[in-house]
């Protein structure tokens, strides 16, 4: 499962990522407006890494993006909406979960994406955006939307496993996916453990085994 930063990078090659808190920021436009948006969102990510949340200001973003400050104020208004637009933009990509032919391998591939986003030493955009969610209500809401979208897209991994007969019956896809990915966030973000390349596979194998044992039966309607 890719991270907000990875999704933003990929969307830059294909189409914008995941933003929107107002009708204005959600609007799809092309030409100069799209170029300005791309420049501004890129500047947000760069400044977040360089100066942290406290150093992220509308004026600094405008200067780094090479656009007039009134353009940024008019379209985004404040830092919270800028961060929300970066995150919302990351949802608008074409990412889809892998299809390896087995539940454990699919979960391992998802975990590998998370691992690569979190395991690097030093600051990175993924952890900076997650941290910003604790400082900005708009960023927190956008981050929740991002994960909701990602888990919804990944539900097909569990559906395919059930269709292949790997599971004893329908399963709660969200509960299974959270169980598979949670160890990576716990170890790498909360405990700040040393990166362990075996972690993505180990976490995937444990959750897949639990799923095969019926631990994630579909919740009652």
pLDDT of residue 120: 80
CA–CA gap between residue 164 and residue 167 (Å, rounded): 8
Maximum Cα–Cα distance for the chain, whole Å?
59
Neighbours of 24 (CB within 10 A): 12
pLDDT of residue 121: 73
Provide CATH 1.10.357.10 ranges for the chain: 94-213
38-75: burial string, b at 16+ Cβ within 10 Å, e else: bbbbbbbbebbbeeebeebbbebbbebbebeeeebeeb
Token couple for 77: 């208004």
Provide the CATH number for the domain formed by 94-213 in this structure: 1.10.357.10
pLDDT of residue 6: 62
Token couple for 13: 């090659």
- Non-local (6+) Cβ contacts of 158 within 8 A are 103, 167, 171, 173, 176, 177, 211, 216
Predicted confidence (pLDDT) per residue in 133-159, tens digit: 999 999 999 999 999 999 999 999 999
Predicted confidence (pLDDT) per residue in 191-211, tens digit: 999 999 999 999 999 999 999
Predicted confidence (pLDDT) per residue in 85-126, tens digit: 999 998 888 899 999 999 999 999 999 999 999 998 777 889
Provide CATH 1.10.10.60 ranges for the chain: 32-77
Going by the DSSP 8-state scheme, the letter that residue 171 receives in this structure is B
Token couple for 10: 């990929």
C-alpha distance from residue 19 to each of 11, 120, 143 (Å): 12, 25, 10
Architecture of domain 32-77: Orthogonal Bundle (1.10)
- The pLDDT of 160-172, averaged and rounded, is 96
**131 and 185 in contact (C-beta within 8 Å)?**
no
């Amino acid at each position: 499962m890719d991270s907000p930063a990875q999704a933003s990078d990929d969307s830059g090659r294909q189409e914008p990522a995941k933003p929107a808190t107002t009708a204005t920021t959600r609007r799809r436009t092309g030409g100069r407006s799209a170029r300005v948006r791309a420049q501004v969102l890129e500047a947000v990510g760069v400044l977040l890494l360089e100066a942290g949340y406290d150093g992220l200001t509308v004026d600094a973003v405008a200067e780094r993006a090479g656009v007039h400050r009134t353009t940024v104020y008019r379209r985004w208004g404040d830092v919270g909406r800028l961060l929300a637009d970066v995150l919302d933009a990351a949802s608008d990509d074409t990412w889809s979960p892998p299809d390896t032919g087995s539940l454990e391998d699919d979960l391992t591939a998802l975990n590998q994406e998370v691992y690569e986003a979190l395991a690097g030493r030093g600051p990175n955009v993924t952890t900076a955006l997650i941290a910003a969610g604790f400082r900005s209500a708009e960023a927190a809401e956008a981050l929740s939307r991002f994960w909701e979208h990602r888990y919804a897209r990944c539900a097909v991994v569990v559906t395919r496993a059930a269709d292949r007969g790997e599971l004893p019956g329908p399963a709660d896809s969200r509960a299974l996916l959270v169980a598979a990915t949670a160890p990576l966030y716990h170890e790498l973000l909360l405990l700040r453990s040393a990166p362990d390349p075996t972690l993505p596979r180990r976490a995937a194998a444990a959750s897949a085994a639990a799923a095969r044992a019926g631990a994630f039966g579909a919740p009652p309607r």
